[in-house]
């Protein structure tokens, strides 16, 4: 496969020169190794800001006169190999990818380049793997790009068939990708990809994972489970690997047919045992039953088999609804608890999803809470007792991501 490196090489030299010759020598207002992404409070033409902080437990930060402005909103973020990657979702157009590290508590730009807008990305070995996924039945392919996070260069690129994994006349649309052992797991939902029903399906009651070799991204097998619906959600990582190497997968059970939720199976957690590429048929955690009707929409692994989960009630359940409530699940004990100490649901505008933070110490996770008052807070969630404590205050916008760099 030819590598179009001329169009995808990272502008390392230029970015490094700009960073070293910057006229702005002031220290950040809140130096620290935590990075909080905030979308300013504006109706149009807004750009995300990256703010730093030394703690998520106390203090306050603001977009007013602070932060590193990004090129456009709809940004998504990932940390890997002591670097922070800020990716612009270009909504079909090419998107900028900006790379930073932290020096003395301040973000330091390392590179900036453009690639295709992607719908899934994940650290794999020393690489960052990006995937642009077709939602058109006439173009049944997903393009992948492998970025080496040491050299900050595109090492290779290619395409995978999205009709081959499904084999049912629909396309496999990967909800996310994740390294598991030396493989890349790509859970997917089956979509019609045509005829004003792009994200609808005739197969709402199955979960699938396509298993790829790495780095050549060859499809090795597809594993399937008919006890729940598809894994994750659009742009949501539904996989979590715990300390013993077992990988757990959640389903929100929100497949759609003819404009309505059609999944008849419960929101649940299933397991792929360490060292295998098969679902464990002896394990099944019915989350809806354990929680009294809630379904998982996103999760954050905090360690020791515990996840902080975003949930919706049966009445709130929807294809793109992420919810305004938090819970804690223990995947081995198969237990569920609603988190106490959160603001009233009526006062919450949104919760940060996809990019919350945990040091994976087995106890604490941090979740962004955006209030209708316009103020945001990062709440510290204690997974041992399912309680929340108000922490860092964020003024001037919506918290969209929380990360940490050493």
Per-residue pLDDT of 198-255, as tens digits, reads 899 999 999 999 999 999 999 999 999 999 999 999 999 999 999 999 999 999 999 9
Residues of the chain with pLDDT under 70: 1-29, 43-45, 73, 90-93
Give 255-291 pLDDT, tens digit per residue. 999 999 999 999 999 999 999 999 999 999 999 999 9
Q: For strand 127-133 and strand 141-148, is the pairing parallel, antiparallel, or unpaired? A: antiparallel
**What pTM was computed for the model?**
0.91
Q: Kindly report the average pLDDT of the chain as a whole number.
A: 90
Nearest to 117 by CA among 86, 142, 81, 89: 89
Q: What is the DSSP string of 72-135?
A: SSSEEEEEETTEEEEEE--TTS-EEEEEEEEETTEEEEEEEEEE---SEEEEETTEEEEEEE--
What does the pLDDT read at residue 319? 80
Q: What is the CA radius of gyration of the chain?
A: 21
Inter-residue contact 117 to 96 (CB < 8 Å): no
Inter-residue contact 98 to 71 (CB < 8 Å): yes
Inter-residue contact 193 to 134 (CB < 8 Å): yes
Interatomic CA distance for residues 35 and 255, integer angstroms: 34
What residues does 145 pair with on adjacent strands? Answer: 130, 157
Give the CATH number of domain 118-266; options: 2.40.128, 3.40.1000, 1.10.3470, 3.30.1330. Answer: 2.40.128
Give 35-53 pLDDT, tens digit per residue. 999 999 875 667 889 999 9
Q: How far is CA 149 from CA 36, 92, 153, 377, in A?
A: 21, 25, 7, 32
Domain limits, the chain: 118-266
19 phi, psi to nearest 5 deg? -65, -40
What does the pLDDT read at residue 28? 59
What does the pLDDT read at residue 6? 38
Interatomic CA distance for residues 343 and 369, integer angstroms: 9
């Amino acid at each position: 496969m030819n590598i179009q490196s001329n169009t995808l090489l990272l502008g390392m030299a230029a970015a490094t020169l700009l960073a070293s010759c910057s006229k702005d020598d002031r220290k950040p207002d809140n130096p620290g190794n935590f990075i909080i992404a905030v979308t300013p409070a504006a109706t149009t033409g807004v750009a995300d800001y990256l703010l730093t902080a030394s703690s998520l437990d106390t203090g306050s930060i603001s977009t007013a006169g602070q932060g590193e402005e990004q090129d456009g909103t709809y940004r998504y973020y990932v940390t890997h190999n002591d670097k922070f990657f800020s990716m612009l979702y270009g909504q079909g157009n090419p998107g900028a990818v900006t790379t930073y590290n932290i020096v003395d508590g301040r973000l330091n730009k390392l590179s900036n380049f453009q690639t295709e807008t992607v719908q899934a990305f994940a650290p794999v070995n020393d690489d960052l793997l990006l995937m642009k996924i077709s939602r058109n039945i006439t173009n049944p392919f997903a393009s992948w790009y492998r970025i080496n996070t040491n050299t900050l260069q595109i090492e290779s690129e290619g395409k995978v068939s999205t009709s081959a994994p499904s084999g049912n006349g629909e396309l496999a649309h990967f909800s996310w990708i994740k390294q598991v052992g030396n493989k890349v797991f790509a859970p997917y939902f089956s979509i019609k990809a045509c005829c004003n029903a792009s994200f609808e399906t005739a197969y709402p009651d199955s979960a699938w994972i396509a298993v790829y070799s790495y780095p050549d991204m060859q499809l090795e097998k597809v594993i399937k489970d008919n006890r729940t619906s598809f894994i994750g959600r659009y742009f949501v990582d539904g996989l979590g690997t715990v300390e013993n190497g077992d990988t757990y997968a959640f389903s929100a059970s929100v497949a759609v047919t003819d404009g309505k939720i059609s999944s008849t199976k419960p929101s649940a957690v299933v397991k792929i045992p360490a060292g295998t590429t098969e679902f464990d048929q002896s394990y099944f955690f019915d989350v809806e039953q354990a929680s009294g009707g809630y379904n998982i929409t996103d999760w954050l692994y905090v360690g020791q088999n515990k996840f902080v989960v975003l949930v919706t009630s049966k009445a709130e359940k929807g294809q793109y609804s992420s919810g305004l409530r938090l819970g804690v699940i223990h995947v081995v004990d198969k237990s569920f608890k609603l988190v106490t100490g959160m603001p009233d649901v009526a006062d919450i505008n949104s919760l940060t999803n996809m990019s919350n933070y945990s040091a994976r110490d087995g106890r604490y996770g941090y979740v962004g809470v955006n209030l209708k008052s316009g103020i945001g807070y990062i709440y510290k969630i204690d997974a041992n007792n399912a309680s929340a404590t108000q922490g860092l205050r964020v003024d001037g916008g919506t918290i969209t991501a929380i990360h940490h760099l050493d």
